[in-house]
Amino acid sequence: RFRREIAADLGVRRQRVSGFMIGEHGDAQMPVWSSVRVFGMETDELADAITRLRNGTESHDFVATARAETARLLAMVQTGNVAEAFAEADRLPPDVRVVVRPFITHYSGSKTVRATANATVSLVERLLAGDDVFLAGQVLLHDGEFHGLPAVPFGVPVIASAGGIRRVVELPLTPDEEARVQSIARVTKAKVNTWLRL
């Protein structure tokens, strides 16, 4: 979704864009803006494009911004203004849209069954053809496997094959991204520990 939203804003095909959101679904996911690349775009041009796309949002604002926008747009959905909520979401930065849109879709009664099915079929076809696939996946990390995180379920880049997850790919992170990843992992670990005590 992150790649799709960036591509849409830049007016390029999604296949030209690489970039990851990591962490946990919802507002505990984190855009890794330092991982974003657009094939055919020079470094300076990309930096300018990212600044424009982020529209003043910063990593430390991301969770608060995503929560506030989700609440605001869900209030619109609850009053029957679904089309307006989607239109408002279109004006948000791409990383915030990635978090907000699924909530609007779910609570409006819309479904993404076809898109999910198409993505699943495409992935299975590639795996059955013997391809290794580089993608973001929710996995149970082993201690220290990704930036020193504890054993925790976490969305990270992985290489998958027909036999399963071949390996976790550790992306380079900026110091700010590193701090956010550590924070998200602590929160996720605490949630899991609470659930396991039930």
* pLDDT above 70 for 27: no
pLDDT digits (tens, 9 = 90+) for 88-125: 888 888 888 888 888 888 777 776 667 778 888 988 99
First to last CA, the chain: 33
**Separation CA 195–CA 7 (nearest Å):** 38
**Separation CA 116–CA 134 (nearest Å):** 18
CATH topology of domain 132-196: L-2-Hydroxyisocaproate Dehydrogenase; Chain A, domain 2 (3.90.110)
For residues 127-137, average pLDDT: 89
What is the residue type of 71? A
DSSP secondary structure of 117-137: HHHHHHHHHHHHTT--EEEEE
What is the residue type of 156? V
Give the chain's length.
198
What pLDDT, on the 0 to 100 scale, is given for residue 166?
A: 92
**Which one has a higher pLDDT value, 131 or 55?**
131
pLDDT classification of 14: cutoffs 50, 70, 90: confident
Instruction: Specify the domain boundaries for CATH 3.90.110.10 within the chain.
Output: 132-196
Neighbours of 89 (CB within 10 A): 21
* Sign of the C-alpha dihedral computed for residues 127, 133, 136 and 139 taken in this order: positive
Q: What is the pTM of this model?
A: 0.81
What pLDDT, on the 0 to 100 scale, is given for residue 113?
A: 66
**Separation CA 145–CA 194 (nearest Å):** 23
What is the residue type of 191? K
* pLDDT above 70 for 29: yes
Max distance between CA atoms of the chain, in angstroms, equals 52
pLDDT digits (tens, 9 = 90+) for 137-171: 899 999 999 999 988 899 999 999 998 899 999 99
**Separation CA 33–CA 54 (nearest Å):** 9
